Structure 1
Amino acid sequence: MSNIASSGKAAGGELEEKIDLTPETDAKLEQSATLAKSGQVREALAILAALEKRCRVGNDSPNLVRVCEASLQYCKDAGDEELLFSTIQTLTTRRSQKTNAIRAMVHKAMPWCVVDQYTPIAVTSEGEKAARTKLVETLREITDGKLFLEGELARLTRALAIIKENEGDIAGAADVLQEVHVETYGSLSKREKVEFILEQMRLTLGKKDFVRAAIVAGKVSRKHLQEENMEEHKVKYYTLLAENHRHDKDAFALAKDYHAIYSTPHILSDEAKWKEALKSTVVFLALSPYGSEQQDMLHRVNKDGNLESLPAYRTTVQLLLKNEIIAYPMANQQELESLPSFCEGGEDLTQFWHESFHRRIIQHNVRIASFYYKRIHGARLAQLLGLDKNRLEKEISIMVSDGVVYAKIDRPKDIIRFAAPKSAEVVLSDWATDIDKLLHLVETTTHLINKEKMTQ
């Protein structure tokens, strides 16, 4: 029974007998170095291959790491790229290869193809470029699926994406990054994860895959973006998000994006930047459909002291908050529509925003009219709003469909009714409420009369 137990422990790897091969390793490394310098690299590798097996089987991890690193260094010094690739693949795929050895070899080889953790090294010739790319791909294959190298896999993947992007293959770069679900990696810091996801967003938008870009954007925790050391990432995130929302023609989402950029401390410290962001916030709020969230944001922006230095935009916000009809075009319309963010996205999108501006003002005016009129002739309302009857009817229909106002149009009589008919239950409830108020007034009056008589 004891023999079985001890063999079981040995199979586990933790209690196996360890052999110290330092003297032999020192001698063999010196011998192999001499051969490598004389150009006999393969002979040097043959000596180290036998030593590597002894160190691996004898569980001498420190000397195993030395042997593996020396093997890679000899290949690199000899300038034999193919030998380097085959050596690192052979050593990392050996049976029962130690984790420390694999990690050490990856760390040894990474500086030969990337700098600053993920930036590819600069190369000039096509041969060097091919060798660099193959080394990155080789290291990615080695690190793939290994939890202790997940950080290295993410950095190598990002380096490969940069290489593909520099070659003009945006779609290929985006596809490479999509393979890595970096948000699940525990060895990376929050900052590195956000940087990686932002790159995924940028490249996905670069290949015009807006649906996937929205999915990737959901991986970023907006709570983390509020941290002090994440300000630049926050601005970049909302800038990329704005590009996606611009494609979707979602004005209110754009307003929230620009307001998030505006509220970033280092943006608020730069007058030119915060003015641009606040202007964009106001313009896209004006272009947003009416709703409780939109109105709440308008009120918050209206209370912002920085708005005082932007008279045209302050006037726009105040007009949208007043229960008054707005004349179209507005006095400051041209200034609003000349904003760079308004014109971004091409002529078709700019024309869409221009038409949306008119539509939002019409809808605002119709909504205000519904506050003051229960019934009104269509011709009269069209005259008040400066519209033709067909356009007015179309906009009212859209607003009714969206649930913004209640309206019924009697075309033969040309009457628009804004007051919703009351059901029998509502009429009865209102009547009962009125009776209660009347009886309360009668009772109060009677009490005051009796009180007056008693004091005489």
Structure 2
Amino acid sequence: MSNVGASGRASGGELEEKIDLTPETDAKLEQSSQLAQSGQLKEALAMMAALEKRCRTGNDTANLKRVCEASLQYCKDAGDDELLVTTLQTLATRRSQKSQAIRALVQKCIPWCVKGQFEPLPVPDGHKKARDNLVEALREICDGKLFLEAERARLTRCMAMIMEQEGDIAKAADVLQEVHVETYGSLSKREKVEYILEQMRLTLAKKDYVRAAIVAGKVSRKHLQEENMEEYKVKFFTLMAELHRHEKNAFALAKDYHSIYSTPHILSDEAAWKVALQSTVVFLALSPYSNEQQDMMNRVKEDPNLEKIPSFHKTIQLLLKKEIVKYPMANQGEMESIPSFLEGGQDLASFWHESFHRRIIQHNVRIASLYYKRIHGARLAQLLGLSPDQLEREIASMVSDGTIYAKIDRPKDIVRFAAPKTPESVLSDWGADIDNLLHLVETTTHLINKENMTK
């Protein structure tokens, strides 16, 4: 009669009998260990296979885990990597295998191929194939099992690192994208963010910018503001800057660098915050005019740290004044020499240089439209230091963007910045002026009467 140690529940709702095989397991583990040490590995594994079946069918999970782990250890001690993978796959795919046993098998093998959380275990060149095969076998075992989702995520990242080390970045990115880590409940928030950032890094390295933008949308900006997420916040916006640099989106770059600048540990490092704030100012200057851009520029202007970098402070002041700015600006060379401006190659640096000139021209045209209702094109071109053709192109571009209202009369060479008014708007303006005048007369009369009464 078997000893009953505890009860499980069968699929029909009946209680399953659990057999305690501890004495038999202890004896056979000792016996099989001696066989393995004496070189009789197959005999030892055969003994363990029979015992594994008895423990599995007898619902003795504790001893089942011991038997499975011992079988793997014998293969590892013998140095037979191929048999280790075969034994692992056989035990993990047994019919009605217990989830605790599968988890024990995976956790037993992970330290043999993974260092720390996800780095591949350093091995001699001759053993790299065996390590890689073990990682792949473990990934297959974990696939589709909720109780091993965290292990699968770490093993997948390990496999991606192996492929990256071998120079196959595209394949590494594809492997890492298979895991939708944001849906995993067993991983911490930090692990999820770290994993998604790694997906972003590899997709950017692969130059798959569309996929990188999709992956970036999985990261919550709110979570990045938390105190223990500063490192990930800087890494995230550094990667976003790489994406936006490819898109040549100057305003998005300004926001990326300002987010890096506003991180507490960056603000505590003078060299780091200066680089970030300088980049913010430069890309704000390169951004197309908009209410959001002007709002951000005014907020940056109020930052006391900006006064510590005078050239960049002066740039913000010039662009916020309603005055024509001379091109090139006195400190433009310094702004165009910062690392973030030059990053991306000579072609991109040339694009930013041309954009700088266009933004100054657009600023000057916008200022002229505030002071003139109409002006001769030749005179305006002279004021802005442009050729008539260049001036016409920029005005046309700004009108198309909706930045200003303008009409050019070519035969008369007149540029009109004032929009024509409808009769209704003229009448409304006249009525408003009359109301203001009557109010002023009434107020003045009241004050005169009040003065007379006090005498």
Structure 1 length-normalised TM: 0.95
Secondary structure of 1:421's aligned partner: coil
Q: What is aligned with 1:197?
A: 196
Distance in 2, matches of 1:261 and 1:438, equals 53
Aligned residues: 448
Distance in 1, matches of 2:449 and 2:254, equals 63
> Kindly tell me: are residues 443 and 271 of structure 1, through their superposed partners in 2, closer, same or farther at Cα, counting changes over 3 Å?
closer
How much identity, in percent, do the aligned residues show? 77
Q: Shift of the alpha carbon at 1:100?
A: 0.5
| Cα distance per residue 1:291-323 (max 9 Å; x no partner) | 111111111111111111111100000001100
Distance in 2, matches of 1:84 and 1:157, equals 20
Counterpart of 1:35 in structure 2: which amino acid?
L
Q: What is aligned with 2:379?
A: 380
Distance in 2, matches of 1:316 and 1:256, equals 17
Q: Shift of the alpha carbon at 1:448?
A: 6.0
Equivalent residues in 2 for 1:178-197, closer than 5 Å: 178-197=177-196
Q: How large is the RMSD of aligned CA atoms in angstroms?
A: 1.7
Does 2:77 correspond to 1:77?
yes
Equivalent residues in 2 for 1:46-195, closer than 5 Å: 46-125=46-125, 127-195=126-194
Counterpart of 1:348 in structure 2: which amino acid?
D
> Kindly tell me: are residues 228 and 9 of structure 1, through their superposed partners in 2, closer, same or farther at Cα, counting changes over 3 Å?
closer
Counterpart of 1:205 in structure 2: which amino acid?
L
Secondary structure of 2:18's aligned partner: coil
Distance in 2, matches of 1:129 and 1:19, equals 42
Equivalent residues in 2 for 1:9-408, closer than 5 Å: 10-11=10-11, 15-125=15-125, 127-408=126-407
Counterpart of 2:59 in structure 1: which amino acid?
N
Q: Shift of the alpha carbon at 1:449?
A: 6.6
Counterpart of 2:51 in structure 1: which amino acid?
L
Q: Shift of the alpha carbon at 1:433?
A: 1.6
Structure 2 length-normalised TM: 0.95
Q: Shift of the alpha carbon at 1:423?
A: 2.1
> Kindly tell me: are residues 452 and 171 of structure 1, through their superposed partners in 2, closer, same or farther at Cα, counting changes over 3 Å?
closer
> Kindly tell me: are residues 448 and 197 of structure 1, through their superposed partners in 2, closer, same or farther at Cα, counting changes over 3 Å?
closer
User: What 5-or-longer segments of structure 1 have no aligned partner?
Assistant: 1-7
Secondary structure of 1:43's aligned partner: helix
> Kindly tell me: are residues 26 and 408 of structure 1, through their superposed partners in 2, closer, same or farther at Cα, counting changes over 3 Å?
same
Secondary structure of 1:11's aligned partner: coil
Q: Shift of the alpha carbon at 1:434?
A: 2.2
Distance in 1, matches of 2:217 and 2:225, equals 16
Counterpart of 1:336 in structure 2: which amino acid?
M
Q: What is aligned with 1:437?
A: 436
Counterpart of 2:36 in structure 1: which amino acid?
A
Secondary structure of 2:49's aligned partner: helix
> Kindly tell me: are residues 186 and 451 of structure 1, through their superposed partners in 2, closer, same or farther at Cα, counting changes over 3 Å?
closer
> Kindly tell me: are residues 213 and 440 of structure 1, through their superposed partners in 2, closer, same or farther at Cα, counting changes over 3 Å?
same
Distance in 2, matches of 1:217 and 1:106, equals 31
Q: Shift of the alpha carbon at 1:452?
A: 7.5
Q: Shift of the alpha carbon at 1:124?
A: 1.8
| Cα distance per residue 1:125-182 (max 9 Å; x no partner) | 2x30100000000000000111111100010000000100000000011001000011
